[in-house]
């Protein structure tokens, strides 16, 4: 497959995304190729670790390839998208639970589906150019691919802020928020990969890591906690509207551009996930309840039309007044019964 290069090199299983012209956007076929390789290498004693990287300077992976999702959804064929998300989420869980070290090198943009394959491994490396984000609410989805797990575990109310605004995190922020582990200057990546291939020793990553840049998010933590402490999107919006600061005004402007039903569901998801018993599978199950319904009942198709297809940046959202009824949120997140996400490898 020309979009991805899968091979073994020394003691390493190697997966390189090779679509730099498309910011290494992840297609269904690429997901399935990664899934197959990981399942094969899991049983291969010659493979000690997995290395995930990508060609190009601009992006590790800027998200999923949504062209086919839009094309099928606009014909009322929702099965393709449901299958795509189901199998992608199963891949996310496979990476998270993998029995061998999975080392990812996340240059440039890592967003959406890129987070799903790049931010669930054991060693997540960022460099100077890294920009990590979950911008799904801007296109009528919710933070998914297991991203809701990391958002729920992020300090304070950072998850609500990152999930609703799509804020882009630099390397220091990504480590602070729990989306990455190690900062290594990018000029050292090629040499480190050579050493990993030759030795099969994942601990070399820890040995090469240096102090990460400071995290602006850490300095904003108090303000974010104060403004995003509400139990619902409506509570958060009230806090922002009643706070006469440049920071709150800027955030409010961002939220007013995003899908209200998506943001309301994102906030509810994080509140449901927090606490004891949180697992990636629970997060993915909850995400799938939304994405399963996103084309038929959510704002996904309109979001893609406005942002990607027509590019008029003027989506006609449901609940455009930002007043999202609790019952609408409940309907998007109710259990799927027989269609629920399964992690069986049968």
136 is catalytic: yes
64 is catalytic: yes
- Catalytic residue, candidates 73, 108, 113, 147: 113
Q: Are 168 and 112 in contact (CB under 8 A)?
A: no
87 is catalytic: no
Q: Are 62 and 109 in contact (CB under 8 A)?
A: yes
Pairing outcome for strands 12-17 and 4-9: antiparallel
- Catalytic residue, candidates 48, 65, 88, 136: 136
- Catalytic residue, candidates 144, 173, 287, 299: 144
- Catalytic residue, candidates 48, 53, 63, 64: 64
Q: Are 212 and 128 in contact (CB under 8 A)?
A: no
Q: Are 121 and 93 in contact (CB under 8 A)?
A: no
What gap in Å lies between CA 264 and CA 3, rounded to an integer? 35
45 is catalytic: no
Cα dihedral angle (226, 266, 249, 220), rounded to 10 degrees? 40
Catalytic residues: 64, 113, 136, 144
């Amino acid at each position: 497959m020309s979009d991805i290069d899968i091979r073994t090199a020394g003691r390493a299983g190697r997966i390189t995304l090779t679509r730099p012209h498309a910011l290494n956007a992840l297609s269904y076929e690429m997901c399935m190729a990664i899934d197959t390789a990981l399942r094969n290498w899991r049983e291969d004693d010659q493979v000690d670790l997995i290395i995930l990287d990508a060609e190009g300077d601009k992006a590790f992976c800027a998200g999923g390839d949504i062209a086919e999702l839009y094309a099928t959804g606009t014909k009322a064929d929702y099965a393709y998208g449901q299958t795509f998300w189901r199998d992608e989420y199963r891949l996310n869980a496979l990476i998270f639970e993998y029995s061998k070290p999975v080392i990812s090198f996340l240059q440039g943009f890592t967003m959406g589906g890129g987070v799903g394959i790049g931010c669930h491994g054991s060693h997540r490396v960022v460099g100077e150019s890294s920009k990590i984000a979950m911008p799904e609410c801007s296109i009528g989805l919710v933070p998914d691919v297991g991203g809701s797990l990391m958002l729920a575990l992020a300090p304070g109310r950072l998850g609500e802020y990152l999930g609703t605004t799509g804020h882009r995190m630099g390397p220091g922020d990504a480590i602070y928020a729990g989306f990455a582990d190690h900062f290594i200057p990018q000029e050292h990546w090629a040499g480190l990969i050579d050493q990993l291939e030759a030795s099969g020793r994942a601990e070399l990553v820890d040995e090469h890591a240096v102090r990460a840049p400071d995290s602006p998010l850490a300095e904003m933590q108090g303000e974010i906690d104060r403004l995003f402490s509400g139990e619902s999107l409506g509570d958060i919006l009230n806090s922002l509207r009643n706070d006469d600061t440049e920071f709150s005004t800027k955030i409010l402007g961002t939220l007013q551009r995003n899908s209200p039903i998506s943001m309301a569901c994102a906030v509810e998801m994080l509140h449901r996930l927090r606490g004891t018993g949180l697992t990636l599978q629970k997060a993915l199950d909850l995400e799938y309840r939304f994405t399963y319904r996103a084309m038929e009942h959510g704002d996904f198709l309109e979001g893609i039309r406005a942002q990607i297809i027509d590019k008029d940046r003027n989506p006609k959202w449901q609940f455009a007044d930002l007043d999202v009824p609790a019952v609408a949120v409940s309907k998007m997140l109710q259990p799927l019964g027989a269609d629920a996400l399964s992690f069986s490898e049968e």
